[in-house]
Amino acid sequence: MRSWLVLTFLLVSPFITNASDPLVLSCSDDCDFETPEEWSLLKWFKERESLTLKPGGSYRIRYHNENNMRRSGLTGQDDEFVLHQTRLWLDGNLTEDLAFHGEMLDAASFGETFRPRGNEVNRADLYQLDVDAKVADYGSGTLTARLGRQEIRLGSARLLMAPIWANRRRAHDGVRMMWRDCDWDVDAFWVRPIFRDAAHFTAFDATNHFQQLYGVFGTYKGYEQSTLELYWLAYDIERGAGAPGGRYDTFGSRRYGEANGLLYEVEGGLQLGTNPDDSSHTAGFVTAGAGQKFEETWWEPEVWLFYDYASGSSTTGNGFHTYVQRAHYYLGFMDLFGRRNLQDINLRITTKPIEKLTFLVWYHYFMLANGRDVPYNLSMNPFAGLSAGDAGSKDLGHELDLVLTYQLNEQTQFRVGYSHFWSGAFYDKTPGVPTNVDANFFYTHFQYQF
């Protein structure tokens, strides 16, 4: 794997001659490289008039103050630390039909008392390296193949996502076929997740051969005021590498848009397959929301009311599996719960006091979907190692998220956030929970993209 880094450097270094040059470098300009004639590969690059290179990157620093929520859920543990994330990437077009993207990631954590979470640290690693090749152009549409290490983000990303919040982002190795025309976007893919060695944060990320994701995701754009998504997503987890195994096929759809000034979104899916205990798996999820924009009102508020449901089971671990989820955005910024055995009624209000300033208020009320099951964390593990049947109440509690974002310009962002969780009766009445005390979360971040 490390040879990819060396090869990438050898290919791109001749074109990056001056840090003050424009970001987009093209050999259609008068490039005069003094390279030996026998370096046939570099000579080939030099003769490509369509070759363009566009380097870029970003840096983010985020401060966390976590009260009663370190690690995962209400744990009784407090911590205070700083996360750093540095990304460097290079996009290029080798020909009109052949492009590539390469990206390095360095994610670090400093000052913590407890061991960092799995999504917080990944030192100096190859995050993405993929090639896009146009396979066919039919006039009405194009078919492109993407091969290599890549992000996967489809639709609402409730099931498949490279999370933006996580300090250590998520990538996959595999292939993706992308059809694009005026009415349809269709993606067919087969990938394996990247495995990060949790015991060795500096170890190079390798392909996880115990897991694979594949499926077909279609987006129909032909409606005037709405969009329809239809998909089949499969997730196979073999026994090994700490995983209990299982196979899940989700058949789902999503419709979102506007009707008579009312915003709406509805998404749901039926999940079939095999549970970790080899029993038959049947589960599902539903999300429904309605919203309204008040563009003529002071601060231009946008208000949404959502209901989220993901099924549970009377057997621990057999409820709905949320795959590679984007829970942080949808299920509360404190990341207390994953999308399994969960109900969430939430109200979101977004306002703009001034053009560059956005204020978000988001309230959640969480409940168990199945009183015989337990809450789950973002990794689909039972909270505090609880077993099915232990829940003393379905009432998990209430969360309030407040976020203020100042977008200075396209490159520079400042953010400050505060969240509070009022613990519900579940934590009072369920044996084995670490604590029933409320939790608080305060954070700030600065991000710059170059």
The DSSP letter of residue 67 is E
The DSSP letter of residue 14 is G
The dihedral formed by the CA atoms of 189, 193, 194 and 199, expressed in degrees to the nearest 10: 180
pLDDT of residue 89: 97
Determine contact, residues 434/384, Cβ cutoff 8 Å.
yes
Q: Give me the amino acid identity at 316.
A: T
Q: Give me the amino acid identity at 127.
A: Y
**Residue 3 φ then ψ, to 5°:** -65, -25
With CA atoms as reference, report the closest residue to 286 among 332, 335, 345: 345
Q: Domain limits at 246?
A: 132-449
CA end-to-end distance (rounded Å), the chain: 27
| 268 within a domain of the structure (yes/no) | yes
How many structural domains is the chain composed of? 1
| 200 within a domain of the structure (yes/no) | yes
CATH of the domain at 249: 2.40.160.100
Structure tokens at 318: 């057999």
Distance between CA 138 and CA 263 in Å, rounded? 35
The DSSP letter of residue 68 is S
C-alpha angle 198-201-203 in degrees, rounded to nearest 5: 100
Distance between CA 424 and CA 396 in Å, rounded? 5
With CA atoms as reference, report the closest residue to 305 among 322, 291, 315: 291
CA atoms within a 13 Å half-sphere pointing along the CA-CB vector of 309: 15
| 443 within a domain of the structure (yes/no) | yes
- Strands annotated E in 208-261: 211-220, 226-237, 246-259
| 185 within a domain of the structure (yes/no) | yes
Radius of gyration of the chain (CA): 24
Determine contact, residues 306/339, Cβ cutoff 8 Å.
no
Determine contact, residues 204/182, Cβ cutoff 8 Å.
no
Determine contact, residues 298/187, Cβ cutoff 8 Å.
no
pLDDT of residue 7: 39
Distance between CA 360 and CA 242 in Å, rounded? 38
| 62 within a domain of the structure (yes/no) | no
Q: What is the mean pLDDT of each run of 10 residues along the chain (450 residues)?
A: 39 39 40 48 59 93 96 93 97 93 96 90 93 93 97 92 87 96 97 77 81 97 96 90 82 95 96 93 98 91 97 93 88 95 98 96 97 91 85 94 97 98 96 94 97
Place of tokens 């689909």: 380
| 95 within a domain of the structure (yes/no) | no
With CA atoms as reference, report the closest residue to 192 among 148, 240, 158: 148
pTM for this one? 0.86
| 99 within a domain of the structure (yes/no) | no
| 207 within a domain of the structure (yes/no) | yes
